[in-house]
Structure 1
Amino acid sequence: MLGLKRGVNVLVDYDPAWPAEFVAERERLTAALGTIAKGIEHYGSTSVVGMRAKPLLDILVGVLPLADWACCPEPLAALGYDYAENAGVAGHYIFGRGPEAGVRTHLVHVVEFQGESWRSNLAFRQALRGDAALRQAYVAIKEAAVAQAPVGRGKYTALKRDFIDTAKAALAGSPQAEDHP
């Protein structure tokens, strides 16, 4: 199951359908974006088997140069995405879609292909996939964040920020940072 009202923070148990949902969406994105997209990856908690997550499919789209993000709004709009101009993630151009107004199922984050954000987000995903203790600690942080901020994505994200930044800093330059499919 995918879908969450905008601004609401809820974690659900892992859904084994999420990887197939990503594959289908990657095909749609590849067809729409063509050579603009240098890479399309499933990331975030829905990309980690067994992890509780907000039921939103996070997708990383890499473009090069980053200025090519400006080529994305029109083809993404044709797929039902709208530009979330005030999403507040530095270096990310974020587009969301959902089946109805006020509900999101997919978030596309357009970033520089092979840039710092691309590499660090995929390294964090790989670390979560391979390290049960890290996964468990991250879920605990997320559950505490939901308890403190059941409404408001900004606050929820801010409550997780130190944990994520610390984990990414520890991963920087590690062999895991280069190990992603």
Structure 2
Amino acid sequence: MRQAIVVVDYDPTWPEVFERLRAPLWEAVQDFALGIEHVGSTSVPGLAAKPIIDIDVVVATEADVALAIERLAVLGYTHQGNLGILGREAFHQPAHLPLHHLYVCLQNSAGLRNHLALRDYLRAHPGAVKAYSALKKRLAQEHAYNIDAYIEGKSDMILAMLKETGFEEDQLDSIREQNRAK
């Protein structure tokens, strides 16, 4: 049975949850990682979101990705592969932690650039936050058990925001295709 898609109003404790999750991650990777970013909707003040923290560990090289996989396994994370996004490796979280998605991203990867550009755009555009929140809530109601339809329904707005940040048409086409593949 599919789990219902739940979108809630912004919770001001989300940055604190991110920091609690970040601390042990940073301890494990600080000798080679470039940083750890809070991304996704929970990273944007005022934005409605699924209550799941998205975290990107940023590394410089493929060798660093391999090292991150080893170090994160010690913390209980299970490597899931790139899930169709080049330059971004996904992990399943340990059960005892707050809900979150963890990724290891190469510093110049499209996946990381997408996450940071969308986050930063929304942080700078309160009107977009309001419109995107309303869209997400509506889609969660209309497609409560269909994550593919939910993602597809958000795609045009996301792509429009990314276009405003300077993404080229071929990059936007690639993101559109990745969203459809999910």
TM-score, normalized by length of structure 2? 0.78
Amino acid in structure 1 at the alignment position of 2:153: L
Q: Please give the secondary structure, in 2, of the residue aligned with 1:35.
A: coil
Q: Alpha-carbon deviation of 1:117? A: 3.0
Does the alignment pair 1:50 with 2:46?
yes
Could you say what the CA RMSD is over the residues aligned between the two structures, in angstroms? 2.6
Q: Please give the secondary structure, in 2, of the residue aligned with 1:10.
A: coil
Q: Share of identical aligned residues, percent?
A: 36
* Matched positions, count: 167
Q: Residues 75-97 of structure 1, C-alpha deviation per residue, up to 9 Å, x if partnerless?
A: 22222322234744443211131
Does the alignment pair 1:119 with 2:116?
no
Residue of structure 1 in register with 2:176 after alignment: none
Q: 1:139 to 1:55 in 2, by over 3 A?
A: same
- Aligned counterparts of 1:110 and 1:161: Cα–Cα separation in 2: 23
Q: Please give the secondary structure, in 1, of the residue aligned with 2:16.
A: helix
- Identify the structure with bigger relative contact order (alpha carbons < 8 Å, sequence gap 6+): 1
- Aligned counterparts of 1:104 and 1:90: Cα–Cα separation in 2: 26
- The partner residue of 1:156 within 125, 150, 155 is 150
Residue of structure 2 in register with 1:23 after alignment: 19
Q: Please give the secondary structure, in 1, of the residue aligned with 2:30.
A: helix
Q: 1:104 to 1:7 in 2, by over 3 A?
A: farther
- Aligned counterparts of 2:56 and 2:9: Cα–Cα separation in 1: 22
Q: 1:8 to 1:69 in 2, by over 3 A?
A: farther
Q: Please give the secondary structure, in 1, of the residue aligned with 2:31.
A: helix
Q: Alpha-carbon deviation of 1:133? A: 1.0
Aligned pairs for 1:97-112 within 5 A: 97-99=93-95, 105-112=99-106
Residue of structure 2 in register with 1:176 after alignment: none
Answer yes or no: is the 8 Å Cα contact 1:7–1:153 preserved in 2: no
Single out whichever of 42-51 and 77-86 deviates more from structure 2. Answer: 77-86
Residue of structure 2 in register with 1:35 after alignment: 31
Q: Alpha-carbon deviation of 1:152? A: 4.3
- The partner residue of 1:77 within 73, 76, 83 is 73
- Aligned counterparts of 1:63 and 1:146: Cα–Cα separation in 2: 33
- Aligned counterparts of 1:42 and 1:52: Cα–Cα separation in 2: 15
Any gaps of 5 or more consecutive residues in structure 1? Answer: 1-5, 174-181
